[in-house]
Copies of this chain bind each other. A is one copy, B any other.
Amino acid sequence: MTKPHPFDEATRLFQSEPGVWSGASTEAYANMVGSFGGIASATLLNAVVSDERRIGHPVSLTVNFCAGVGEGGFDIRSTLHRTGKYTQHWSLELTQEEKLCSTATVVCGVRGEVFSHQPAVMPDVQPAEDCAPLPSMGFLNWVDRYTFRFVEGAMPGTNRAAGALASARTVAWVNDNPARPLDHLSLAALSDSFFLRLFHVRGNMEPMGSVTLTTHFLATPDELEEQGSKPLLGIADSTRFHANFHDQQIQLWGSNGQVLATGTQVAWYKQ
């Protein structure tokens, strides 16, 4: 029996009754405090994707991070609010020993072959194979679960002038490490795989964290299948850092030039 991919291990859920699931944190995606938020997001989405009541495919996911998910087991409860002809609405809560860690809402949509048009154009950048992968940082497990190849706005150096601010924009190729065929769950996690923009701008680690994360899935399952385990091109940027909060917008592009997902988050910072 092949050992499952760490991502599948980390997002695995067991259903005890309809809408009641349990899972457990894994060391492979450990963050500074608790688990990587992208794994919590993907696991919450898994409680919808794995539910036999689901129609269509994920279209939108919003996760609100109330508290970090620590070591050990956790529970997810989902509520199916409404199933229409075209869309389905869910709410979820992730708790650990009665403590609420995350709330989430998911919209699924029934997708067909209708009008298709993509005004956005993929940036013309160096191919992934020409970009050096970020070496392991050796202290954040979840970072080692991705291969980052920076095209623009690499990891902030520590040798910049004191107080000098860098660009908030990053363009990078990213994929699971070890490689894993793309699906909606890994796309949800990838949408949170960008380092917080404040870290890039100021270049130092200070207290900060994601507060709320929204991902819109623009790709259909056939496109995710076609993408397979090839690197995605990711773009992240921020418009404003002000009064303890900043926004962060992302795009994830497939290697065929299709927008697979777009998203936004708000991060908190202390000083």
Give A contacts to B, CB under 8 Å.
59-60, 62, 64, 66-67, 81-82, 84, 86-87, 89, 91, 100, 103, 105, 107, 109-120, 165, 167-169, 198, 201-202, 211-212, 214, 216, 218-220, 237-247, 249, 251, 258-259, 262-264, 266, 268-271
Contacts and interface: CB of A to CB of B under 8 A. Distances in A.
Q: How many copies does the complex hold?
A: 2
A103 B103 contact: no
A218 B107 CA distance: 25
Contacts of A212: 59-60, 62, 105, 107
Contacts of A87: 66, 211, 268
12 contacts: A60-B211, A62-B214, A67-B84, A107-B212, A107-B266, A112-B243, A115-B202, A116-B243, A117-B201, A119-B167, A120-B238, A216-B247
Nearest to A214: B214
A240 B246 CA distance: 25
A158 to B, nearest CB: 18
B214 A118 contact: no
Contacts of A105: 62, 64, 103, 105, 212
